[in-house]
């Protein structure tokens, strides 16, 4: 089952193993400049609020009720990153507008063996965007559906789904026991613990960021694909979110320039695991900044280049990237 | 109220609006002999199998779990869940016996997956 508590989704697989669970939350962050320079990791500015679709069903579009799941408020051109937490290994597939964020292929349940279309957690501590080339992603940036910016619209030509889709599969019981429970005795620490009336938003590719998506070191057969759970995360325009829920959305995040000028830290993550190649489909997408220019809408606001002065190095086992502002 | 009488009452209520809910037609749609359904409704025979009760629930717009409970049965998927972790679920159900619905709903709340 998937439980929502403290704005975090917890996927539990008690039928596979009593330890089998992982958690996912959505971090507010600043939008990195979309200027084709590769930036380090921006900070986490706290979790987005997450609401059950069923709690506000009468105020939401029919399609959202059909999809089920949850929703979060985002401002137009606001960025997010997805934060993973697990002690038990899980394979997680993430799509935006039903376009796989790792492979660029259309959504399917199940994991793909020939070209890896999922991340393995806890090895992958987070995902900030679309996998455009080895070691580089384009930041997830919310844009209204129907204006042609989102990855979904650029790839399929349709503004149909929007939102984020996630499915998580736990490691098979036997694989876990063999790899971790037995070796725990010998090695105690292996794992440290648009259309303006529609609220629908989708994720578009923003600025470039240095981030590796790691290859699955366990192999596809390690994952229990009979016991996955999936969730549709709708993205509600922040202004409409308030009308739908009566709750105040978070303030707009600080700009990259203000954050950097205040001397606050950016981050770089080091792990010597092998990184996946980028997806040619995703690599061919036009970023929000470029699309704004292409479509004659001037320049993307708050998009000046920045020179991050403080870049904190983080390593496996110490994966905190909080930004206080 | 017995299972048979409940089914009969519901079916008769529907029949007063729509002739398709006659004993004969309902029996035909769920795949049993009219005489058999009639005996079940009169309580002469025990309630039918889980599959037929589910078909009846679907036909009459009733909740399958409620009809199964009236027939003294527990849905096979629930049995399977309990069989996997019998102590845990037996304890849970006993402890929740007198809890108000709201408290139970809070425990059972998960993120609903829909059609997409």
Q: Would you call A66 and B113 a contact, using CB atoms and an 8 Å cutoff?
A: no
Q: How many residues does chain A have?
A: 325
A231 in B contact zone (CB under 8 Å): yes
For testing contact with chain B, the best of A52, A62, A160 (most B CBs within 10 A)? A52
Q: State pTM to two decimals.
A: 0.76
Q: Which residue range forms the structural domain that includes residue A17?
A: 2-315
Residue A249 lies in a domain: yes
Q: What is the greatest pairwise CA distance in chain B? A: 48
The per-residue pLDDT for range A105-115, each reduced to its tens digit, is 999 989 998 88
Mean pLDDT over each residue of chain A, to the nearest integer: 90
Residues with Cβ within 8 Å of A156's Cβ and at least 6 positions away in sequence, in order, are A97, A99, A106
Domains with residue ranges and CATH for chain B = 3-70 (1.10.260.40), 76-108 (no CATH)
Q: What is the pLDDT of residues A274-295, one digit of tens each?
A: 999 999 999 999 999 999 999 8
Please count the structural domains in chain A: 1
| Chain B contact present for A173, CB below 8 A | no
Q: Whole-number mean pLDDT of chain B? A: 91
| Domain presence at residue A321 | no
Residue A156 counted as domain residue: yes
pLDDT of residue A198: 67
Using CA atoms, how far residue A59 sits from A72, A222, A233, B8, in Å, is 14, 42, 16, 39
Is the model's pLDDT at A195 over the cut of 50? no
Check residue B96 and give its pLDDT.
83
Domain contains A88: yes
User: B115 and chain A: CB distance < 8 Å anywhere?
Assistant: yes
Chain B positions touching A231 (Cβ under 8 A) are 111, 113
Q: pLDDT tens for residues B38-79? A: 999 999 999 999 999 999 999 999 999 999 999 999 999 899
Quote the pLDDT of residue B100: 79
Give the model's pLDDT for residue A165. 97
What integer is the mean pLDDT of A230-259?
A: 91
Q: How high is the pLDDT of residue B19?
A: 94
In chain A, residues with a C-beta closer than 8 Å to the C-beta of B114 are: 65-69, 232
pLDDT at B34: 95
Beta strands (DSSP E) in chain A are 2-5, 8-12, 21-29, 38-39, 51-52, 70-74, 79-86, 90-96, 99-100, 119-121, 126-127, 129-133, 136-144, 164-170, 200-210, 229-237, 266-270, 311-315
The per-residue pLDDT for range A285-325, each reduced to its tens digit, is: 999 999 999 988 888 888 989 999 888 988 877 767 776 55
Q: Is the pLDDT of residue A193 over 60?
A: no
Give the whole-angstrom CA distance, residue A249 versus residue A253: 11
B110–A contact, CB cutoff 8 A: yes
User: What pLDDT is recorded for position A199?
Assistant: 75
CA distance B20 to chain A (A): 30
The b/e string for A200-228 (b: 16+ C-beta within 10 A; e otherwise) is: bbbbbbbbbbebbbbebebeeebbbeebb
A197 confidence band (pLDDT: 50, 70, 90): low
Burial of B44 (0-12, 13-18, 19+ CB in 10 A): exposed
Per-residue pLDDT at B102 exceeds 80: no
* pLDDT at residue number A282: 96
With a cut of 80, say whether residue B108 has pLDDT above it: no
Tens-place pLDDT, residues A45-79? 999 999 999 889 888 999 999 999 999 999 999 99
Residue A101 has pLDDT above 70, yes or no: yes
B32-46 pLDDT per residue, tens? 999 999 999 999 999
Q: How far is CA B96 from CA A309, B6, B93, B108, in A?
A: 57, 27, 5, 11
pLDDT tens sequence across A14-23 = 889 989 999 9
Domain assignment present for A52: yes
Is residue A322 assigned to a domain?
no
- Our CA-based measurement puts residue A227 at a distance from the nearest CA of chain B, in whole angstroms, of 14
- The answer on pLDDT for A196 being more than 60 is no
Tens digit of pLDDT for each residue in A170-189?
999 999 999 988 654 444 44
| Position B8 confidence tier, pLDDT thresholds 50, 70, 90 | very high
Q: What is the pLDDT of residue A309?
A: 85
A81, β-bridge pairs: A27
Q: What is the pLDDT of residues A139-163, one digit of tens each?
A: 999 999 999 999 999 999 999 999 9
- B77 part of contact set with chain A, CB < 8 Å: no
Q: Cβ of B106 under 8 Å from any chain A Cβ?
A: no
């Amino acid at each position: 089952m998937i439980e929502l508590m403290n704005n975090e989704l917890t996927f539990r697989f008690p039928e596979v193993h009593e330890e089998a669970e992982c958690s996912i939350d959505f971090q507010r962050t600043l939008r990195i400049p979309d200027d084709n320079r590769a930036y380090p990791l921006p900070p986490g500015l706290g979790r987005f609020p997450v609401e059950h679709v069923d709690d506000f069903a009468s105020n939401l579009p029919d399609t959202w009720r059909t999809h089920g799941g949850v929703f979060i408020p985002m401002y137009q051109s606001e960025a997010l990153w997805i934060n993973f937490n697990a002690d038990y290994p899980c394979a997680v597939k993430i799509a935006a507008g039903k376009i796989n964020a790792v492979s660029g292929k259309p959504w399917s349940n199940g994991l793909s063996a020939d070209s890896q279309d999922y991340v393995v957690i806890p090895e992958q501590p987070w995902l900030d965007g679309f996998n455009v080339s080895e070691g580089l992603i384009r930041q997830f940036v919310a844009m209204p559906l129907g204006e042609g910016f989102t990855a979904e619209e650029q790839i399929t030509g349709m503004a149909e789904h929007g939102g984020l889709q996630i499915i998580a599969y736990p490691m098979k019981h036997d694989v876990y026991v063999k790899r971790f429970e037995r070796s725990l005795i010998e090695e105690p620490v292996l794992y440290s613990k648009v259309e303006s009336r529609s609220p629908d938003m989708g994720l578009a590719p923003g600025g470039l960021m240095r981030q590796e998506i790691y290859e699955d070191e366990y192999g596809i057969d390690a994952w229990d694909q009979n016991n996955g759970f999936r969730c549709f995360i709708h993205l509600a325009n922040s202004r409409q979110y308030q009308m739908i829920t009566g709750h105040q959305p978070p303030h707009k995040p600080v700009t990259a320039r203000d954050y950097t000028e205040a001397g606050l830290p950016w981050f770089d993550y080091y792990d010597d695991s092998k990184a996946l190649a980028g997806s040619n489909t995703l690599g061919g997408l036009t970023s929000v900044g470029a699309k704004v220019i292409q479509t004659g809408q001037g320049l993307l606001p708050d998009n000046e280049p920045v020179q991050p002065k403080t870049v904190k190095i983080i390593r496996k086992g110490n994966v905190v990237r909080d930004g206080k502002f | 109220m017995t299972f048979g009488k409940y089914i009969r009452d519901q079916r008769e209520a529907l029949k007063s609006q729509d002739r398709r809910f006659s004993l004969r037609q309902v029996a035909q749609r769920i795949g049993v002999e009219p005489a058999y359904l009639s005996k079940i409704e009169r309580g002469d025979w025990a309630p039918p199998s889980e599959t037929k009760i589910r078909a009846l629930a679907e036909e009459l717009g009733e909740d399958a779990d409620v009809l199964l409970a009236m027939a003294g049965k527990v849905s096979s998927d629930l049995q399977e869940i309990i069989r996997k972790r019998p102590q845990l679920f037996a304890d849970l159900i006993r402890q929740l016996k007198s809890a108000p619905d709201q408290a139970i709903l809070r425990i059972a709340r998960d993120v609903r997956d829909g059609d997409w």
